[in-house]
Amino acid sequence: MIELSQVRKVFHAGRPNEHVAVAGVSLTLEAGRLTVFRGPSGSGKTTLLSLIGCMTRPTSGRIFLQGREITSLPLPFLTDLRRRTFGFIFQQFHLLAKVSVLENVMLPAYPLGESYSALKSRALSWLERLGLAAKAAAKVEWLSGGEAQRVAIARALINGPQVLIADEPTAHLDSHLSQEFMALMADFKTAGTTILIASHDPLVHEAVAVDRVVDLRDGRLVSPESRIC
Amino acid sequence: MARRLHKQRYLLDFALSSLWRRKGKNLALLGVYSLLVFVLASVLFFTQALKREAALVLAASPELIVQKLAAGRHDLIPAAYAERLREIRGVSRVSGRLWGYYYDARVRANYTVMAPEEVAVPEQAVLVGAGIARGRHLSRGSTLTFQGYDGTPRAFQVRGVLSPESELLTADLVLMAAADVRRLFGLAEGLYTDLTVAVNNPREVATVAAKIQELLPDTRPILRDEIRRTYEAAFDWRAGILLSVFSGALLAFLIFAWDKAAGLSAEERREIGILKAMGWETGEVLQLKFWEGAVVSLTAFFMGTLAAYLHVFVAAAPLLAPVLQGWSVLYPRFRLTPFIGLFEVAILFFFTVVPYTAATIVPTWRAAGLEPDQVMRS
Amino acid sequence: MVRKSTLFFAFLTTVVLALGLALGEARLRVRGELPYLRQEVMVVKTLQLTDLCLATEARHTRHPSQADWHSAFQSHPAALDHFPSGSIIPPPENVRRGYGPQAP
Ligand SMILES: Nc1ncnc2c1ncn2[C@@H]1O[C@H](COP(=O)(O)OP(=O)(O)OP(=O)(O)O)[C@@H](O)[C@H]1O
Ligand SMILES: [Mg+2]
């Protein structure tokens, strides 16, 4: 479903501090699979995920989404594609403080302009499925780390994405919560969502739901791939 | 279409949430902003109402006044001058006005003593303005004593108090018979304070004034238009003084607003980053900021304007009148006719809401253009 | 939980209505005061007044038409009566020129 062809991302190109973060990656990611990107710090995991998630454009190379080339799409189309296709979970959760849990979850859907009642009931049902129904009106800063992450997950799911992208999702969780997170991801995978995770955490690599681990080093794939199920 | 409406409504919802999140700062801003609109609106309403009323009422005053000058100073004018003026073509009527100022040491106020031509006042009687009646506790039948030019006290019986409806014009007037005015001030028969000239064709006033100056080189004609302009200038000037005194507050507000709007805090920058990462477009972030600015400025505009209306036209401008009206001992009590309409309100709207809203959007421009992937690295 | 935008719309509707009422009242009051204004016009006409009675102490404000030509802070009948301004902003050109042919 996602295909990368010779994708490069160079920061500060042509300047003394030029840095090649992703150096020619070609990769095919199938729909409905859970893929983990692994590699030392600075190996380009985050950069690769933001390239796939249309948050930034590659310096060269092409990315295809369901056979459609997206690298050359004009910005408004790209944004629209991004918010309908991808859901993001960040390492720091990046929830908005002093705003209710419910509003945080609904936030990514605001620009799409659907009716309030539909959006609200969808957000509430996600919160319920994630065991947060009682916290809908609570402020974000009152939440525990695990709750905050589940809010971030609900937010990532609100637009019904086909692809869920998580960058270091377990960095702030203890091992029990990390396992819970991976179990949730397994559920979503079963429901047909494609899942991409960048992580150093062995708990993540070793989870049973993981279909594939992609190793990165200095912006390149390390071949052969360690595990393909 | 429905989607667009829903979307704007969501943006408004979120703008309100954002404002509410920093409620301490935003409420303070709103308070200062409303106060600013209140002062601006009060000044505008007050001066506007007074100017319109002055223009309306003084349109009926004599078209031309002729004063005699002696060595460059105002002097009494002989009745014979009136005869000369009547010969000028285009002049329909010339009459002598007999009037002067009387300083009443008891209330430390100046009265305007006048012998009206068209109102018959018996000798040793006066009609007094409502301001004087208040100051000296006079009513019909009381006695009012003036000290004549030669020091002799002269008693007058109050025949009536001028209607309080016209206090804006008559609060300080004392009307008495011409003979009494002459006796009180020691003015010789055949001399007047000045002459008023009515002109057939209003367009000929300047020509007539030129002829007067030619015919009587020691006089000075004063046009009604000039008096009207003086009033406008005086009110505009006072409004200007008030606003410039207030400009300190205005400046403080601007700095405050700028700090709030322009100096996007790290926190706000972070939020914009999150919104971008969540799939918001630059335009949507700007629309959000537009709503934030619009909410604050609309609220301040309506609160300030409504408060100003109540202050000026219901409470008679207790906070502004002393400055805008000028200093005085005998303040006339007059109700301000609310000569304001949509136009004045629209001007206020334009000068308060638009700049602020614009000022909140412009600085967001750069932050809103942040690459969405930036948020992944913080 | 009421949406915040609903509350804001309610607020906005209230204040717009209030301002509308205020402007309406202003209109009615102007109409109601026309008789008094007419009375004021009559007073001006019969007494041949030239000035408003706003500041009774400054004679050039109470009676700008009665100003001397050469007294302190008061150089012209149409000059501003506040100290620095009178010396900065001249009265209208035609006033300074006068009306006679002898004027420069
Ligand atoms: N905006 C940028 N400007 C310059 N260099 C950048 C920028 N973003 C990333 N880099 C560099 O690109 C390289 C890859 O960064 P990236 O964040 O993708 O690594 P990572 O594998 O996610 O690391 P970590 O495991 O520490 O999160 C790093 O050396 C980083 O310094
Ligand atoms: Mg990273």
Query: Is a pLDDT exceeding 90 seen at residue B114?
Result: yes
* pLDDT (mean) for B31-37: 89
Ligand 1: which of A15, A19, A49 to mutate, judged by most atoms within 8 Å of the beta carbon? A19
To the nearest whole Å, the CA of A52 is away from the closest chain B CA by 11
Query: What is the predicted pLDDT for the residue at C75?
Result: 43
CA torsion, ordered A72, A73, A75, A77, to nearest 10 deg:
-170
Residue ranges of chain A with pLDDT lower than 50? 226-229
Which range (A79-83, B23-27, B328-332) has the least confidence? B328-332
Confidence label for C84 from pLDDT (cuts 50, 70 and 90): very low
Q: What is the mean pLDDT of the segment spanning C75-93? A: 54
Which of the pair, B307 or B168, is modelled with greater confidence? B307
Q: What percent of chain B has pLDDT over 90?
A: 38
Q: Which residue has the higher pLDDT, B29 or B180?
A: B180
Nearest CA to ligand 1 atom 24: A41
Longest dimension (CA), chain B: 98
**Ligand 1 close to Cβ of residue A42 (< 6 A):** yes
Chains in touch with C (≥3 Cβ pairs < 8 A): B
DSSP letter (8 states) at residue B114 = E
For B123, other C-beta atoms within 10 Å of its C-beta total 11
Exposed, middle or buried, B129 (CB in 10 Å: 0-12/13-18/19+)?
Answer: buried
Least confident interval from A131-135, B277-281, B358-362, C13-17: B358-362
For residue B270, pLDDT beyond 80 = yes
For residue A219, give the nearest of A3, A54, A7 by alpha carbon. Answer: A7
- Domain boundaries defined on chain B: 2-58+232-377, 77-192
Specify the pLDDT at position B376: 61
Residues of B with Cβ-Cβ distance to A111 under 8 angstroms: 7, 10, 279-281, 284
Please state, in angstroms and rounded to a whole number, the distance separating the CA atoms of residues A128 and A122: 10
* Residue C82 CB neighbour total at 10 angstroms: 17
pLDDT class of B71 with cuts at 50, 70, 90: confident
pLDDT tens digits along C25-37? 999 999 998 888 8
Asked if B78 contacts B219 with a C-beta cutoff of 8 angstroms, the reply is no
CATH class of the domain comprising B77-192 = mainly beta
| Partner B, chain C 22-61, Cβ-Cβ below 8 Å | 22-23, 25-27, 29-30, 33, 36-37, 39-59, 61
Read off the tokens for B110. Answer: 């100046």
Ligand 1 contact, A43 CB (< 6 A): yes
The pLDDT assigned to C74 comes to 47
Q: Which carries the bigger pLDDT value, residue A193 or residue C96? A: A193
Return the minimum-mean-pLDDT range out of A94-108, B7-21, B344-358, C69-83.
Answer: C69-83
Question: Does position B158 have pLDDT exceeding 60, yes or no?
Answer: yes
Q: SS3 string of chain A?
A: CEEEEEEEEEECCCCCCCEEEEEEEEEEECCCCEEEEECCCCCCHHHHHHHHCCCCCCCEEEEEECCEECCCCCHHHHHHHHHHHEEEECCCCCCCCCCEHHHHHHHHHHHHCCCHHHHHHHHHHHHHHCCCHHHCCCEHHHCCHHHHHHHHHHHHHCCCCCEEEEECCCCCCCHHHHHHHHHHHHHHHHCCCEEEEECCCHHHHCCCCCCEEEEEECCEECCCCCEEC
Q: Where are the beta strands (DSSP E) in B105-250?
A: 109-115, 125-128, 143-147, 153-161, 173-175, 191-192, 194-199, 219-223
| Cα B106 to Cα B137: distance, rounded to the nearest angstrom | 12
Backbone angles phi, psi at B89, to 5 degrees: -70, 135
* Residue range B310-320: mean pLDDT, rounded: 86
Neighbours of B (≥3 Cβ pairs closer than 8 A)?
A: A, C
